[in-house]
Amino acid sequence: MKAKGAKSIADVGSWGFDVKNKKTLGEELSVTLSSWANENSLGNMWISGEAGELRFLQERFPDVNISASFKDEYGKGVCSAPTFKKTYSKYFDR
């Protein structure tokens, strides 16, 4: 957040993210975040998809490489830029 000029997590996103892993490799910083979201209702804020938090973060910080994996009641998979649409993988156990 500091490197990007954000003063609070609300400047970067509206979901709470837990920092699980942080590594510095020279000039690069790698951070693993986790969060929980109820994406089953139109009134809830989504993390995945065109209007989700991941897309918002990518637009706010275009020089940051964002990749995501997820697990829900239908299975597991990944969300990838630019749309961050959920893609289920047949290689993950349900």
DSSP-assigned states of every residue in 63-79: TS---EEEEETTEEEEE
What tens digit of pLDDT does each residue of 26-38 get? Answer: 888 888 888 887 7
Q: Is 88 helix (H, G, I), strand (E, B) or coil?
A: strand
pLDDT band at 14 (very low <50, low <70, confident <90, very high): low
Q: What is the DSSP letter of 39?
A: -
Span 40-82, pLDDT tens digits:
766 677 889 888 888 888 888 888 888 888 888 888 999 989 9
Decide if 50 contacts 68 (C-beta within 8 A): no
pTM, two decimals, is 0.69
Please state, in angstroms and rounded to a whole number, the distance separating the CA atoms of residues 46 and 29: 25
